[in-house]
Chains A and B, each alone.
Chain A
């Protein structure tokens, strides 16, 4: 331990100073004690702009220790800019081990997805949240939304969902789908696709939410009821996909559309890259023949991941990460 503390000369461990960590830690404990309630905290400026996960980074920095293994995902992917740079940040300022393996990680910081691999007790999922207040677009005044939460007055949210039905014939909200936590607070699950809402319900992992710009922290303890709002005649439903993942053949997972060329060629692949790569690396996975429309040769499934099939181009600095 002491060797580690002398290693880090320029920054305090995990970047934040100790008083800031204590303040955030107190907010996290209050958040856990009042599931779904947004605890105000004195969010700090971080060496990255708002919108890049400053809330999640501050939560992670406050809970992380030298023995933790950190995974960071951005829309399910381990290899996109946000995920790579936050992972690199913690490698630099906390010297912690990082991984892309969901099962091995003790802390998973996420932007807008919950991994497909089921989480276990002892894991902590840290969400980056842009707008923590689910009622904000219905009522812009913080004084009012606070009163609405205090009085458990959530009729407006049901009106919003009803207006969806009146306009579109169904609840058209597909992400940031409001949930009720432990029968009390209506909470924004952050802009995860509603596909992931059922995974929050009675999850064995602790879920922490950090909103840096909006200065709020909230939490869902393990084994806590998280129920998506709906109506008796319009029950909550998750997205379904006609085709399995074009790379690994996985069904019942969340898929991203990937454009392949300028002629309308596209395919649907797992949003969770770790899940997809694991399945493709596993010889027992029944391989999917490839049904990407107009994708030509690209659609033939390789047994191992190749750079040609990546959903995004590799970017600067990525290769430097030794993982």
Chain B
């Protein structure tokens, strides 16, 4: 299949209702950090972009939101063409210019503080990171607390960025500035807003 065909196929079958379904899953996940929201496969993007991350991008990105792609996605012309055709979003030149960042290889990704953190006056002008992970249950456990969590929540995503716990602590300390993370796994997603703290377990 050539790039032109690949970039046209695989969008939302029903843009209005699919976008709403995906958004509600993201909203619930963001409001209840650590909760895993199931999501049917609604988009068929070219590899290495995965269905869940693609659905998130389709429901939130448009010509107002520059997207930054990590090197693995950047290398695929078909991914850029697909996102371009379906969302109309421009590509950000640097992580600091991005409203959204799609990261197919989180383990190798750049430091969180390289992305836009917002300003003290406008902390909302920050990058939302969409990390493609293999699953949310079999990696190292993260014990979470903060707004949206009654007591504690547990999540165990596979293939998180290096020194993630330490980087996330620094992200917490920048509050109200900081990045938010959407973890996109096959068939499900979870969120880590900047308010969520990772409790380090005393061993």
Interface window among A22-30, A44-52, A280-288? A22-30
Query: Residue A32 contacts which of B27, B64, B65, B175 (CB distance < 8 angstroms)?
Result: B27
Convert A8-41 into 0s and 1s, putting 1 for each residue whose CB lies closer than 8 angstroms to a CB of B: 0000110000110111011111111111010110
Instruction: Report whether B60 and A22 are in contact in the complex, using a CB–CB cutoff of 8 Å.
Output: yes
Which B residues are in CB contact (< 8 Å) with A23? 62, 64
Segment of A80-88, A154-162, A219-227, A268-276 engaged in the interface with chain B? A219-227
Known A63-B24, A223-B147; judge A33-B193 contact (CB<8 A). Answer: yes
Chain B's nearest CB lies how many Å from the CB of A59? 11
Bound CA span A222–B34, Å = 13
Interface presence of B121 (CB below 8 A): yes
Contacts of A62 in B (CB 8 A): 23
Q: Check if A223 sits within 8 Å of B149, measured CB to CB.
A: yes
Nearest chain A CB to B25 CB, angstrom units: 11
Kindly report which residue of chain A lies nearest to residue B128, judged by CB atoms: A29
**At the interface with chain A, which of B12-20, B70-78, B154-162?**
B12-20
Q: In the bound complex, what is the Cα–Cα distance between A29 and B25 (angstroms)?
A: 11
Most B CB contacts (10 A, CB to CB) among A204, A221, A224 go to: A221
Asked if A147 lies at the interface with its beta carbon under 8 angstroms from chain B, I say yes
Chain A's closest residue to B179 (CB) is: A33
Contact B17 A18 (CB under 8 A): no
> At the interface, yes or no: B30 with Cβ under 8 Å from chain A?
yes
Q: How far is the CB of A15 from chain B (nearest CB, A)?
A: 12
Asked if A65 lies at the interface with its beta carbon under 8 angstroms from chain B, I say: yes
Contact status of A1 and B150, CB under 8 A, knowing A25-B23, A34-B123: no
Checking B59, B147, B150 against A25 with a beta-carbon cut-off of 8 angstroms, the contacting residue is: B59
Contacts A22-B61, A25-B23 aside, 11 further interface pairs with beta carbons under 8 A come to A1-B17, A13-B20, A32-B30, A33-B180, A34-B193, A35-B147, A65-B20, A149-B121, A151-B120, A221-B148, A222-B32
Residues of B within 8 A of A (CB): 14-17, 19-21, 23-24, 26-28, 30-32, 59-62, 64-65, 99, 119-124, 126, 128, 147-150, 175-176, 180, 193-195
User: Contact residues of A with B, CB < 8 Å?
Assistant: 1-2, 4-5, 12-13, 18-19, 21-23, 25-35, 37, 39-40, 62-66, 121-122, 146-147, 149-151, 182, 184-185, 204, 206, 219, 221-225
